[in-house]
Amino acid sequence: MLQKPRGTRDFLPEEMEQRREIEMRMRRVAGLFGYHEVLTPTFENQELYTIKSGEGIIGEMYTFEDKGGRKLALRPEGTAAILRMYVNEAKVLPKPIRWCYLLDCYRYERPQKGRYRQFWQFGSELIGADTAAGDAEIILLADGLLRAAGVRFSLQVGHLAPMKHILLDLGEEDKKRVMALLDKRSFDELEACLNDTGKPELYDKLTALIECTTIDEAKEVCGDFPGMERMEEMLGILDSQKLEYSLNLGIVRGLDYYTGMVFEGFAENLGAENQIIGGGSYRLAHLFGGEDTPSCGFGIGFDRVMVSRGEVELKRDPLVAILYTQEGQKRAFEVAGMLRREGIRTEINLLDRGVGAQMKHASRTAQYAVLIGKNEVESGTVTLKNLASGDQVECKLDDLPGEVR
Protein backbone atom coordinates (compact mmCIF):
# COMPACT_ATOMS: atom_id res chain seq x y z
CA MET A 1 0.00 0.00 0.00
CA LEU A 2 1.41 3.37 -1.01
CA GLN A 3 1.91 5.92 1.79
CA LYS A 4 2.04 9.72 1.69
CA PRO A 5 5.54 11.22 1.33
CA ARG A 6 7.51 11.77 4.52
CA GLY A 7 6.87 15.14 6.15
CA THR A 8 3.41 15.61 4.58
CA ARG A 9 -0.10 15.18 5.96
CA ASP A 10 -3.59 14.19 4.86
CA PHE A 11 -6.48 16.40 6.00
CA LEU A 12 -9.88 14.73 6.35
CA PRO A 13 -13.10 16.77 5.89
CA GLU A 14 -13.54 17.71 9.57
CA GLU A 15 -10.02 19.13 9.79
CA MET A 16 -10.32 20.88 6.43
CA GLU A 17 -13.52 22.61 7.55
CA GLN A 18 -11.74 23.85 10.66
CA ARG A 19 -8.76 25.10 8.66
CA ARG A 20 -10.99 26.88 6.15
CA GLU A 21 -12.90 28.57 8.97
CA ILE A 22 -9.71 30.01 10.48
CA GLU A 23 -8.41 30.98 7.03
CA MET A 24 -11.58 32.99 6.38
CA ARG A 25 -11.40 34.72 9.76
CA MET A 26 -7.84 35.80 9.01
CA ARG A 27 -8.70 36.90 5.47
CA ARG A 28 -11.54 39.04 6.81
CA VAL A 29 -9.21 40.84 9.22
CA ALA A 30 -6.62 41.44 6.50
CA GLY A 31 -9.38 42.85 4.30
CA LEU A 32 -10.47 45.23 7.06
CA PHE A 33 -6.93 46.66 7.04
CA GLY A 34 -7.11 47.09 3.26
CA TYR A 35 -4.88 44.12 2.34
CA HIS A 36 -5.66 42.22 -0.88
CA GLU A 37 -4.88 38.54 -1.37
CA VAL A 38 -2.33 37.51 -4.01
CA LEU A 39 -0.89 34.19 -5.17
CA THR A 40 2.46 33.24 -6.68
CA PRO A 41 3.61 30.03 -8.44
CA THR A 42 4.38 26.98 -6.35
CA PHE A 43 7.82 26.78 -7.96
CA GLU A 44 10.21 29.56 -8.91
CA ASN A 45 13.67 29.90 -10.37
CA GLN A 46 16.11 28.60 -7.78
CA GLU A 47 18.09 31.84 -8.06
CA LEU A 48 15.20 33.78 -6.51
CA TYR A 49 15.96 32.20 -3.14
CA THR A 50 19.75 32.02 -3.37
CA ILE A 51 19.92 35.75 -4.17
CA LYS A 52 17.96 36.47 -1.01
CA SER A 53 19.37 33.86 1.39
CA GLY A 54 22.62 32.59 -0.11
CA GLU A 55 23.70 29.28 -1.67
CA GLY A 56 23.45 27.56 1.72
CA ILE A 57 19.67 27.43 1.45
CA ILE A 58 19.84 24.99 -1.49
CA GLY A 59 20.27 22.05 0.87
CA GLU A 60 17.08 23.05 2.68
CA MET A 61 14.90 23.31 -0.44
CA TYR A 62 13.20 20.97 -2.86
CA THR A 63 15.13 21.72 -6.06
CA PHE A 64 14.96 20.15 -9.50
CA GLU A 65 15.76 20.71 -13.17
CA ASP A 66 12.92 20.77 -15.67
CA LYS A 67 13.13 19.25 -19.14
CA GLY A 68 14.67 22.46 -20.41
CA GLY A 69 17.52 22.27 -17.91
CA ARG A 70 16.24 25.18 -15.83
CA LYS A 71 17.03 25.05 -12.10
CA LEU A 72 13.80 25.43 -10.15
CA ALA A 73 12.73 25.19 -6.51
CA LEU A 74 9.48 24.70 -4.64
CA ARG A 75 8.94 27.87 -2.61
CA PRO A 76 10.36 27.61 0.93
CA GLU A 77 8.66 30.84 2.07
CA GLY A 78 6.51 33.65 0.68
CA THR A 79 8.35 36.97 0.81
CA ALA A 80 10.85 36.51 -2.03
CA ALA A 81 8.19 35.50 -4.54
CA ILE A 82 5.92 38.36 -3.46
CA LEU A 83 8.70 40.90 -4.03
CA ARG A 84 9.57 39.26 -7.35
CA MET A 85 5.93 39.63 -8.37
CA TYR A 86 5.95 43.26 -7.26
CA VAL A 87 8.98 43.99 -9.47
CA ASN A 88 7.50 42.06 -12.43
CA GLU A 89 3.88 43.15 -12.24
CA ALA A 90 3.16 45.97 -9.83
CA LYS A 91 6.00 48.45 -9.34
CA VAL A 92 3.96 51.23 -11.00
CA LEU A 93 0.95 50.74 -8.69
CA PRO A 94 0.18 53.53 -6.19
CA LYS A 95 2.07 53.14 -2.92
CA PRO A 96 1.77 51.77 -0.40
CA ILE A 97 0.80 48.34 -1.69
CA ARG A 98 -0.94 46.10 0.84
CA TRP A 99 -0.83 42.39 -0.01
CA CYS A 100 -1.57 39.21 1.93
CA TYR A 101 -1.31 35.53 1.02
CA LEU A 102 -1.83 31.98 2.23
CA LEU A 103 0.70 29.67 0.63
CA ASP A 104 1.84 26.08 0.96
CA CYS A 105 5.62 26.06 1.30
CA TYR A 106 8.23 23.32 1.18
CA ARG A 107 11.42 22.72 3.16
CA TYR A 108 13.67 19.68 2.82
CA GLU A 109 14.49 19.06 6.46
CA ARG A 110 14.09 16.30 9.02
CA PRO A 111 10.41 16.12 9.99
CA GLN A 112 9.68 16.48 13.68
CA LYS A 113 6.80 17.50 15.88
CA GLY A 114 5.34 20.73 14.54
CA ARG A 115 7.75 20.86 11.57
CA TYR A 116 6.79 19.38 8.22
CA ARG A 117 8.24 19.33 4.72
CA GLN A 118 5.00 20.80 3.40
CA PHE A 119 3.56 23.55 5.56
CA TRP A 120 1.34 26.62 5.23
CA GLN A 121 2.19 30.26 5.81
CA PHE A 122 -0.16 33.24 6.12
CA GLY A 123 1.76 36.40 5.35
CA SER A 124 1.34 40.09 4.68
CA GLU A 125 3.63 42.57 2.95
CA LEU A 126 3.40 46.37 3.02
CA ILE A 127 5.43 47.75 0.11
CA GLY A 128 6.45 51.38 -0.28
CA ALA A 129 5.73 52.82 3.19
CA ASP A 130 9.02 53.88 4.79
CA THR A 131 7.40 55.26 7.95
CA ALA A 132 6.86 54.52 11.61
CA ALA A 133 3.13 54.37 10.85
CA GLY A 134 3.74 51.58 8.33
CA ASP A 135 5.82 49.62 10.84
CA ALA A 136 3.09 50.03 13.44
CA GLU A 137 0.31 48.97 11.05
CA ILE A 138 2.04 45.70 10.23
CA ILE A 139 2.36 44.84 13.94
CA LEU A 140 -1.27 45.81 14.61
CA LEU A 141 -2.40 43.66 11.66
CA ALA A 142 -0.41 40.69 12.98
CA ASP A 143 -2.02 41.10 16.39
CA GLY A 144 -5.49 41.29 14.81
CA LEU A 145 -4.94 38.17 12.73
CA LEU A 146 -3.79 36.05 15.66
CA ARG A 147 -6.67 37.27 17.83
CA ALA A 148 -9.17 36.47 15.08
CA ALA A 149 -7.69 32.98 14.82
CA GLY A 150 -8.25 32.45 18.55
CA VAL A 151 -4.58 32.01 19.49
CA ARG A 152 -3.28 32.89 22.97
CA PHE A 153 0.04 34.57 22.33
CA SER A 154 2.56 37.19 23.39
CA LEU A 155 4.23 39.73 21.10
CA GLN A 156 7.80 40.95 21.37
CA VAL A 157 8.63 44.11 19.41
CA GLY A 158 12.14 45.29 18.71
CA HIS A 159 14.20 47.55 16.48
CA LEU A 160 17.66 47.03 15.02
CA ALA A 161 18.65 50.71 15.16
CA PRO A 162 20.30 50.65 18.63
CA MET A 163 22.10 47.36 17.94
CA LYS A 164 23.38 48.60 14.58
CA HIS A 165 24.59 51.77 16.31
CA ILE A 166 26.62 49.72 18.79
CA LEU A 167 28.10 47.64 15.95
CA LEU A 168 28.73 50.62 13.68
CA ASP A 169 32.53 50.26 13.61
CA LEU A 170 32.56 46.54 12.81
CA GLY A 171 32.98 45.25 9.26
CA GLU A 172 29.98 43.65 7.55
CA GLU A 173 31.16 40.07 8.01
CA ASP A 174 31.93 40.66 11.69
CA LYS A 175 28.46 42.20 12.15
CA LYS A 176 26.84 39.14 10.63
CA ARG A 177 28.82 36.83 12.94
CA VAL A 178 27.93 38.88 16.00
CA MET A 179 24.24 39.08 15.12
CA ALA A 180 24.09 35.36 14.40
CA LEU A 181 25.59 34.60 17.82
CA LEU A 182 23.17 37.03 19.46
CA ASP A 183 20.28 35.32 17.70
CA LYS A 184 21.41 31.96 19.15
CA ARG A 185 22.17 33.57 22.53
CA SER A 186 25.66 32.03 22.41
CA PHE A 187 27.22 34.51 24.82
CA ASP A 188 30.54 32.73 25.35
CA GLU A 189 31.12 32.57 21.60
CA LEU A 190 29.92 36.18 21.28
CA GLU A 191 32.49 37.37 23.80
CA ALA A 192 35.27 35.45 22.04
CA CYS A 193 34.16 36.82 18.67
CA LEU A 194 34.27 40.42 19.90
CA ASN A 195 37.69 39.82 21.41
CA ASP A 196 38.86 38.60 17.99
CA THR A 197 37.55 41.76 16.33
CA GLY A 198 39.41 43.96 18.80
CA LYS A 199 36.18 45.36 20.23
CA PRO A 200 35.75 43.52 23.58
CA GLU A 201 34.02 46.56 25.11
CA LEU A 202 31.00 45.95 22.85
CA TYR A 203 30.10 42.78 24.76
CA ASP A 204 28.88 44.66 27.83
CA LYS A 205 26.93 47.12 25.68
CA LEU A 206 25.21 44.37 23.69
CA THR A 207 24.30 42.28 26.73
CA ALA A 208 23.00 45.43 28.46
CA LEU A 209 20.95 46.34 25.38
CA ILE A 210 19.13 43.04 25.21
CA GLU A 211 18.11 43.48 28.86
CA CYS A 212 16.45 46.86 28.16
CA THR A 213 12.68 46.92 28.56
CA THR A 214 12.08 50.60 27.71
CA ILE A 215 13.42 52.98 25.12
CA ASP A 216 14.80 55.20 27.90
CA GLU A 217 16.95 52.31 29.09
CA ALA A 218 18.16 51.82 25.52
CA LYS A 219 19.18 55.48 25.37
CA GLU A 220 21.22 55.03 28.53
CA VAL A 221 23.12 52.17 26.88
CA CYS A 222 23.51 53.68 23.40
CA GLY A 223 23.02 57.40 23.76
CA ASP A 224 21.19 59.03 20.87
CA PHE A 225 21.24 56.81 17.80
CA PRO A 226 20.03 57.10 14.18
CA GLY A 227 16.46 55.84 13.91
CA MET A 228 15.63 56.65 17.54
CA GLU A 229 12.84 59.11 16.68
CA ARG A 230 11.20 56.67 14.27
CA MET A 231 11.40 53.91 16.86
CA GLU A 232 9.81 56.17 19.47
CA GLU A 233 7.04 57.17 17.05
CA MET A 234 6.26 53.54 16.22
CA LEU A 235 6.10 52.52 19.86
CA GLY A 236 3.96 55.56 20.60
CA ILE A 237 1.40 54.42 18.01
CA LEU A 238 1.35 50.89 19.45
CA ASP A 239 0.90 52.26 22.97
CA SER A 240 -1.91 54.58 21.83
CA GLN A 241 -3.77 51.50 20.53
CA LYS A 242 -3.22 49.71 23.84
CA LEU A 243 -1.39 46.88 22.09
CA GLU A 244 -0.12 44.22 24.47
CA TYR A 245 3.58 43.67 23.76
CA SER A 246 6.99 43.70 25.38
CA LEU A 247 10.03 45.56 24.06
CA ASN A 248 12.85 43.21 23.10
CA LEU A 249 15.90 44.90 21.58
CA GLY A 250 17.69 41.57 21.35
CA ILE A 251 15.56 40.32 18.45
CA VAL A 252 17.86 39.66 15.52
CA ARG A 253 15.54 37.41 13.44
CA GLY A 254 18.54 35.47 12.10
CA LEU A 255 18.23 37.08 8.65
CA ASP A 256 20.58 39.94 7.88
CA TYR A 257 18.28 41.74 5.43
CA TYR A 258 16.04 43.26 8.12
CA THR A 259 16.66 46.99 8.32
CA GLY A 260 14.78 48.37 11.33
CA MET A 261 11.61 47.21 13.06
CA VAL A 262 11.49 43.51 13.95
CA PHE A 263 8.95 41.52 15.94
CA GLU A 264 8.08 37.98 16.97
CA GLY A 265 5.07 36.26 18.50
CA PHE A 266 4.92 33.16 20.68
CA ALA A 267 1.94 30.91 21.36
CA GLU A 268 1.34 30.08 25.00
CA ASN A 269 0.76 26.36 24.58
CA LEU A 270 3.18 24.99 21.98
CA GLY A 271 6.14 24.07 24.16
CA ALA A 272 9.64 24.59 22.78
CA GLU A 273 8.54 25.17 19.16
CA ASN A 274 6.26 28.06 20.14
CA GLN A 275 7.19 30.85 17.73
CA ILE A 276 4.11 31.44 15.62
CA ILE A 277 4.95 34.67 13.78
CA GLY A 278 8.00 36.71 12.81
CA GLY A 279 8.57 39.77 10.69
CA GLY A 280 10.04 43.21 10.29
CA SER A 281 11.09 45.92 7.85
CA TYR A 282 13.37 45.07 4.94
CA ARG A 283 14.54 46.06 1.45
CA LEU A 284 14.57 43.27 -1.14
CA ALA A 285 13.12 44.60 -4.39
CA HIS A 286 16.51 45.75 -5.72
CA LEU A 287 17.79 42.16 -5.51
CA PHE A 288 15.22 41.13 -8.13
CA GLY A 289 15.85 43.94 -10.59
CA GLY A 290 13.61 46.62 -9.11
CA GLU A 291 14.35 49.91 -7.44
CA ASP A 292 15.35 50.04 -3.79
CA THR A 293 11.93 49.88 -2.12
CA PRO A 294 11.16 49.98 1.61
CA SER A 295 8.89 47.15 2.74
CA CYS A 296 7.78 45.41 5.90
CA GLY A 297 5.84 42.26 6.55
CA PHE A 298 5.56 38.99 8.41
CA GLY A 299 4.85 35.30 8.11
CA ILE A 300 2.51 33.32 10.37
CA GLY A 301 2.96 29.58 10.76
CA PHE A 302 -0.59 28.57 9.90
CA ASP A 303 -0.14 24.95 10.99
CA ARG A 304 1.04 26.11 14.40
CA VAL A 305 -2.01 28.37 14.61
CA MET A 306 -4.24 25.33 14.15
CA VAL A 307 -2.37 23.26 16.74
CA SER A 308 -2.29 26.14 19.23
CA ARG A 309 -5.94 27.03 19.04
CA GLY A 310 -7.22 23.43 19.08
CA GLU A 311 -10.71 22.44 18.02
CA VAL A 312 -12.70 25.04 16.10
CA GLU A 313 -16.40 25.37 16.85
CA LEU A 314 -18.05 25.25 13.44
CA LYS A 315 -21.44 26.69 12.68
CA ARG A 316 -22.80 24.40 9.99
CA ASP A 317 -26.05 24.87 8.13
CA PRO A 318 -28.38 21.85 8.40
CA LEU A 319 -27.83 19.00 5.96
CA VAL A 320 -30.86 17.52 4.21
CA ALA A 321 -30.74 13.92 2.96
CA ILE A 322 -33.01 13.04 0.03
CA LEU A 323 -34.34 9.45 0.20
CA TYR A 324 -36.43 7.86 -2.54
CA THR A 325 -37.94 4.74 -3.98
CA GLN A 326 -37.37 3.80 -7.63
CA GLU A 327 -40.57 5.66 -8.62
CA GLY A 328 -39.35 8.82 -6.91
CA GLN A 329 -35.81 9.02 -8.28
CA LYS A 330 -36.27 11.76 -10.88
CA ARG A 331 -38.42 13.87 -8.56
CA ALA A 332 -35.75 13.41 -5.85
CA PHE A 333 -33.13 14.98 -8.07
CA GLU A 334 -35.51 17.86 -8.86
CA VAL A 335 -36.09 18.48 -5.14
CA ALA A 336 -32.36 18.30 -4.40
CA GLY A 337 -31.66 20.87 -7.11
CA MET A 338 -34.38 23.18 -5.77
CA LEU A 339 -32.98 23.05 -2.23
CA ARG A 340 -29.43 23.71 -3.43
CA ARG A 341 -30.59 26.74 -5.41
CA GLU A 342 -32.05 27.98 -2.13
CA GLY A 343 -28.60 27.64 -0.53
CA ILE A 344 -29.48 24.55 1.53
CA ARG A 345 -26.90 21.78 1.90
CA THR A 346 -28.40 18.68 0.33
CA GLU A 347 -27.15 15.17 -0.37
CA ILE A 348 -29.04 12.53 -2.28
CA ASN A 349 -28.94 8.75 -2.17
CA LEU A 350 -26.66 7.35 -4.88
CA LEU A 351 -26.62 3.66 -3.99
CA ASP A 352 -29.03 0.87 -4.83
CA ARG A 353 -30.44 0.32 -1.36
CA GLY A 354 -33.86 0.27 0.26
CA VAL A 355 -35.49 3.16 2.06
CA GLY A 356 -34.66 1.63 5.46
CA ALA A 357 -30.95 1.49 4.67
CA GLN A 358 -31.11 5.02 3.26
CA MET A 359 -32.73 6.29 6.46
CA LYS A 360 -30.10 4.55 8.62
CA HIS A 361 -27.32 6.28 6.67
CA ALA A 362 -29.09 9.67 6.79
CA SER A 363 -29.41 9.47 10.58
CA ARG A 364 -25.60 9.41 10.80
CA THR A 365 -24.93 12.39 8.55
CA ALA A 366 -27.94 14.70 8.23
CA GLN A 367 -30.39 16.70 10.33
CA TYR A 368 -33.40 16.19 8.06
CA ALA A 369 -34.57 13.40 5.75
CA VAL A 370 -36.87 14.03 2.80
CA LEU A 371 -38.64 10.91 1.53
CA ILE A 372 -40.02 10.75 -2.01
CA GLY A 373 -41.93 7.67 -3.08
CA LYS A 374 -44.80 6.87 -5.43
CA ASN A 375 -47.39 8.61 -3.21
CA GLU A 376 -45.30 11.78 -2.91
CA VAL A 377 -44.76 11.93 -6.67
CA GLU A 378 -48.51 11.65 -7.30
CA SER A 379 -49.47 14.23 -4.64
CA GLY A 380 -46.66 16.71 -5.43
CA THR A 381 -45.52 16.68 -1.80
CA VAL A 382 -42.64 15.19 0.22
CA THR A 383 -42.41 13.51 3.59
CA LEU A 384 -40.10 15.47 5.88
CA LYS A 385 -38.55 13.89 8.97
CA ASN A 386 -36.63 15.74 11.69
CA LEU A 387 -33.91 13.21 12.51
CA ALA A 388 -33.23 14.67 15.95
CA SER A 389 -36.81 14.69 17.24
CA GLY A 390 -38.26 11.95 15.05
CA ASP A 391 -41.17 14.20 14.03
CA GLN A 392 -42.49 13.47 10.54
CA VAL A 393 -44.86 15.59 8.42
CA GLU A 394 -46.14 15.81 4.88
CA CYS A 395 -44.85 19.00 3.31
CA LYS A 396 -45.54 20.98 0.14
CA LEU A 397 -42.53 21.65 -2.04
CA ASP A 398 -42.87 25.44 -1.73
CA ASP A 399 -42.81 25.16 2.06
CA LEU A 400 -39.84 22.78 2.24
CA PRO A 401 -36.97 25.34 2.29
CA GLY A 402 -38.53 27.21 5.19
CA GLU A 403 -39.01 24.00 7.17
CA VAL A 404 -35.34 22.95 7.01
CA ARG A 405 -33.48 26.24 7.44
Is 78 annotated as ligand-binding? yes
Length of the chain equals: 405
CA separation (Å) from 274 to 152, 179, 264? 11, 22, 11
Is 79 annotated as ligand-binding? yes
Is 107 annotated as ligand-binding? yes
Is 331 annotated as ligand-binding? no
Task: Kindly tell me the burial class for residue 261, based on how many C-beta atoms sit within 10 Å of its own C-beta (0-12, 13-18, 19 or more).
Answer: buried
What is the C-alpha to C-alpha distance for residues 237 and 116, in angstroms, rounded to an integer?
37
Amino acid at 387: L
Is 299 annotated as ligand-binding? no
Is 110 annotated as ligand-binding? no
Is 77 annotated as ligand-binding? yes
What is the C-alpha to C-alpha distance for residues 190 and 201, in angstroms, rounded to an integer?
12
Give the residue ranges of the annotated binding site.
Answer: 77-79, 107, 121, 125, 253, 257-258
Give the residue ranges of the annotated binding site for L-histidine.
Answer: 77-79, 107, 121, 125, 253, 257-258
